Structure 1
Amino acid sequence: MSETAASEMLKIRGLHAYYGKSHVLRGVDMDVPKGSVTALLGRNGVGRSTTAKAIMGEVAPKGDIWFKGKNISGLPSHAIAQLGLGYVPENRDVFPMMSVRDNLLLGIKDMRKALKWTIDDMLDMFPNLKSRADTPAGVLSGGEKQMLTICRTLMGDPDLIIIDEPTEGLAPKIVTQVGQLITEIAKAGVSILLVEQKLSIALKIAQHVYVMGHGEIVYHGSPEEFRKRDDIRREWLEV
C-alpha cells in the first residue's frame, strides 16, 4: 500500500456495486481525510446510500476500499465495524422497548476497554436525550431517534462514522441540532462521511464535497469551490 493511501482515513478506488443485474456504482473514487467531515451529495437514487453499504460490506463491493491502511473490501460487516468504522443508516433503527440509556449501552463493543465516550457525554451533548434517558426509545421523535442512533454508534469508539441522510424529514430546528452534533464529533477527532441531500447543512459543516450522479463521482472540491459551480448544482442536484 502506498504512503498516500495510508495518509487517508478512508480511500476508495474503482468501487463498483450491483443489485442483481443493475450496475449501481460505476468506478467510484473518494477520499476521507483524518479528522474531517466529507459530504457525499446527490439526488435520491444515484448510489449514495449504496456507497455507504458497499463500504460497510452490506452490499458486495468490487474495487479497493482502504480503511486506516487496510483493504477492507469484501470483509464481513462485523469485522469492518470492529476495525473502528461506525455506520448510522438512514432508517434510524432503535430498540423501541428499551430505554434510551440501554440503547446507548448496546453501542459498546468491548466492556473491558476504556471508553472514549461515556453515556453521560452523549446525554450532555443532546439535552433532549438526557431528559428522556429512562424513557423507552420507541416513543422518541424522529429527531431524537436520529440523535440516539448517532450517539449509540459513538459508544463503539469509531475512528470514522458514515452517517446516511441524518436530516431527512426533520424540522429545521432539529436539523440545526444534528449539524451541531456532527460538528462536535468531528472536533473530537472522529472522521465523518456525511451522505446528505440538504446543501445548506452539508456546506456548513463539511471540509470536502463530493457530488454523485448515475453511480459516479461527477465533482469533488471544497465547499467554497462548490458554491461557485452553479452548473454542477443545476445538473446534478436540483430537482
Structure 2
Amino acid sequence: MSHLLELSDVHAFYGKSHVLHGVNLHVNAGEIVSLLGRNGVGRSTTVKAAMGLVDARGSILFKGQQLLGLKAFEIAHKGLGYVPENRDIFPTLTVEQNLRLGEKSGKAASSRWQIDDMYQMFPRLKERQHTQAGVMSGGEQQMLTLCRTLMGDPDLIMIDEPTEGLAPKIVDLVAEYLMTLRQKGISVLLVEQKLAIALDISQRVYVMGHGSIVFEGSPADLKQDLRIRQEWLEV
C-alpha cells in the first residue's frame, strides 16, 4: 500500500546544528497520526522539513512525489496543508478576509470546502466574520488558522500544537474538528503535547526522542508501554 506521506531517513539542520537523525514515518489516506514527545526533540522540525521550511536530506514523498528541494508554496499546491504553532493569521484583516486568502486560486468552486462550511463547523467564526482577527481570543484565532488552511483544499494537514494554551472546552472543539476532517477523507499529522487528545482521536502514534522515532504503534500499544511513556513523554 503506498502511503500518502512518507518520510525516510530524514535528517534536518538549523545552520550547523543537526536536529533530525534519520526520521522514518508515514501517514496513510484518511488517517489521523499523532507525533508525540517532549519539547525540543524535533517534532516541529519534522513537519517543517516536510513543508520545505528547513534544510533537510533523505526522502520525503507525498503522493509518490519527492518534496525535498521544493519551496513551501509549491508543496502547498500539491495538497499538503500546514498549520504552524504560532497561529498564522493576518491580524488587521477580518475573519472573512483571512478565510478568502486561504482559497486556492482558481479552485474555489471545485474545493471540498466553502466558507459556509467553516462557519458551520465553528459558529463562533460566523459571529465574528467582520471582526479583525487580531482582536480575537487565542481559541478563536486557532479556529481561524485551521479553517484558513482548509480553504486551500489540502489532502493532508500537518498541525503543530493546535491545543497549546487553549481552554479545555476549545480543546474538545479542536478534537471534533480533526475527526470531521477524517470523515471528509482528509489525513492529519498532529504534533501534540496532550497525550489524552492524541490517544483519543489517532489511529497511530509516533513518539520522538532526540531527533528520531523511538516508538510507533496504536494508541492502545502506547497505553500499555509504560517504559516508553515514562522515558519519553512524562514530565
Confirm whether residue 166 of structure 1 aligns to residue 170 of structure 2.
no
TM-score normalized with structure 2 length: 0.98
Structure-1 residue corresponding to 2:12: 17
Confirm whether residue 192 of structure 1 aligns to residue 188 of structure 2.
yes
The residue type paired with residue 100 of structure 1 is V
CA distance in 2, matches of 1:72, 1:238: 34
Structure-2 residue corresponding to 1:142: 138
Confirm whether residue 31 of structure 1 aligns to residue 16 of structure 2.
no
The residue type paired with residue 156 of structure 1 is G
CA distance in 1, matches of 2:52, 2:20: 14
For residues 79-126 of structure 1, give each alpha carbon's deviation from its aligned partner in whole angstroms, at most 9, with x where no partner exists.
Answer: 101000000000002111111011000001123551210000001100
Confirm whether residue 157 of structure 1 aligns to residue 127 of structure 2.
no
Confirm whether residue 74 of structure 1 aligns to residue 69 of structure 2.
yes
Confirm whether residue 228 of structure 1 aligns to residue 228 of structure 2.
no
- Structure 1 position 28, deviation (Å): 0.1
| Structure 2 counterpart of 1:125, from 121, 124, 128 | 121
The residue type paired with residue 88 of structure 1 is V
For residues 47-86 of structure 1, the aligned pairs below 5 Å read 47-86=42-81
Q: Identity over the aligned pairs, expressed in percent?
A: 60
The residue type paired with residue 182 of structure 2 is A
Equivalent pairs counted in the alignment come to 234
- Unpaired segments ≥5 residues, structure 2: none
User: Does the residue aligned with 1:43 lie in a helix, a strand or coil?
Assistant: coil
CA distance in 2, matches of 1:185, 1:223: 19
User: Does the residue aligned with 2:102 lie in a helix, a strand or coil?
Assistant: coil
CA distance in 2, matches of 1:224, 1:118: 36
For residues 87-106 of structure 1, the aligned pairs below 5 Å read 87-106=82-101
The residue type paired with residue 89 of structure 1 is P
CA distance in 2, matches of 1:105, 1:235: 44
CA distance in 1, matches of 2:88, 2:60: 26
| Structure 2 counterpart of 1:219, from 191, 215, 220 | 215
CA distance in 2, matches of 1:106, 1:62: 31
The residue type paired with residue 102 of structure 2 is G
